[in-house]
Structure 1
Amino acid sequence: MARPRSAGYDDQRDLILSQAAALFAQQGYTATSMNQVAAACELSKAALYHYVRDKHELLALVAVGHVKRLEAVVDEVLAEPRAPEARLRELIVRFVRQYANAQNEHRVLTEDVRFLDEPQREAVLGIERRVVDAFASTVAAVRPALKPVDLHKPLTMLLFGMINWMFTWLKPAEEDDGQRLTHEQMAPMVAELFFGGLHAVSLPRPGAEPQAPAPRKKSARKETAL
């Protein structure tokens, strides 16, 4: 018979995932031990294993939890009755806000997903692709002429390029060392910058020969979409 969970089980597990994400972000997945995670949570190692099977499961839970929360934001915004431009603005603003409180998890997503098993990595990438596709469809709804020439997805990836790497220079408010901008202030700026460029993008001329891309070197590391 399965052992019943305590009333605070979910809260304790959330704390474990948060502390693990912080350690992975600060010193890397491979350099972090389960002893360190247990100490950060003020648990014995035996107690830690009551909540997670091993460090690999910890990484998977952190990564999957992060992208699922992003997908939930997308689903929530898409369910609201908004015009296309208002919907895209809201998606951008809410994503920037979400990242403000998930910088450790996002660093783990960008740097440590490669350590997951293939099925776990594909699960993360599958959620990421759904998020990107939702953004791309909204971009195409704002400017329909982009879709026939397949520009809605590349422009979406440029947008994510702005959002995804903010964690490298824009710190959370509690770590502010004199910076004057917050994520709340940056969110509408990102939207304005993207919309200013979105409507200025020139479409390829009909019949124009596309420029062949430079050959890409194969990498052993599988990159994430977000």
Structure 2
Amino acid sequence: MPRGRSASYDDQRELILAQAAQLFARSGYPATSMNQVAEACGLSKATLYHYYKDKSSLLISIAETHVSKLAALVAEEEASTHTDEQRLRRFIYRIVEEYAGAQDAHRVLTDDVRFLEEADRERVLDKEREVVAGFARAVSALRPGAPSDDLAKPLTMLLFGMINWMFTWMKPNGRLDHAAIAPIVADLFLGGIGAVKMPEVTKTKTAAPRSAQARKATTKSG
């Protein structure tokens, strides 16, 4: 009778993925070896191969796990009963929150998917396209002429550029954390620079972002 998996098997796999994502993000996928991953995890190379058969399977798991969470986020919000503006604001808030907790995995998704075999790469990219399409629908819903809006995707990519770039300059212990910056991104994108107000700064997670007008009544500018 085959031996069953230990109770810690899934936890160990997640630890391996987190360590591998960190190494890939720092050094790049091609420059990272399975020996380095094993060492970072405190495992022998033989034990590492018990969980993942090769480096490519690590890359596939990192990318697919991350992009699947993003796609699930989009599907959940699209099924909600929020207004069009609330939905886009929640998209922005939740994507920033997800990125904040998975910056290494997101860098791997952005930089290293090109090293996958074509079938694996296309499967990951198809999920990524689902995420972009969901955001584009939310953007289009707020514009005249929806749903046939030729600018929806370009505007969506500009929005993603704003969000992605944020992680290159934000300081982890700076005055604004990710929960505070998400509504700023939403206000800037939806209302222009004049709509942006300094949020009340906390270092705890906040509820879903409110509009600039709603926050104006309860916060003071810094």
Q: What secondary structure sits across from 2:50 in the alignment? A: coil
1:183 maps to what in 2?
178
Give the C-alpha shift of residue 12 in structure 1.
0.4
Percent identity over the alignment is 61
The one-letter amino acid paired with 2:165 is W
Could you tell me the TM-score, scaled by structure 1's length? 0.81
Give the C-alpha shift of residue 147 in structure 1.
4.3
2:195 maps to what in 1?
none
Cα RMSD (Å): 1.6
Question: Deviations for 1:168-189, whole angstroms, at most 9, x for unmatched residues?
Answer: 2224x3xx3xx32211111000
Equivalent pairs counted in the alignment come to 193
Aligned mates of 2:36, 2:134 — CA distance in 1: 38
Aligned mates of 2:97, 2:167 — CA distance in 1: 12
2:140 maps to what in 1?
140
Question: Please, which runs of 5 or more residues in structure 1 have no aligned partner?
Answer: 198-226
Give the C-alpha shift of residue 148 in structure 1.
3.6
Q: What secondary structure sits across from 2:145 in the alignment? A: helix
Aligned mates of 1:82, 1:113 — CA distance in 2: 34
Aligned mates of 1:82, 1:20 — CA distance in 2: 38
2:77 maps to what in 1?
77
Q: Which runs of 4+ in 1 moved over 2 A?
A: 144-149
Give the C-alpha shift of residue 79 in structure 1.
2.2
Q: What secondary structure sits across from 2:69 in the alignment? A: helix
Give the C-alpha shift of residue 145 in structure 1.
2.3
1:90 maps to what in 2?
90
Aligned mates of 1:130, 1:168 — CA distance in 2: 25
Alignment CA distance shift 1:2-1:164 (3 Å): farther
> Relative CO higher for 1 or 2, CA cutoff 8 Å, sep ≥ 6?
1
Could you tell me the TM-score, scaled by structure 2's length? 0.82
The one-letter amino acid paired with 1:152 is A
Question: Please, which runs of 5 or more residues in structure 2 have no aligned partner?
Answer: 193-222
Give the C-alpha shift of residue 167 in structure 1.
2.0
1:58 maps to what in 2?
58
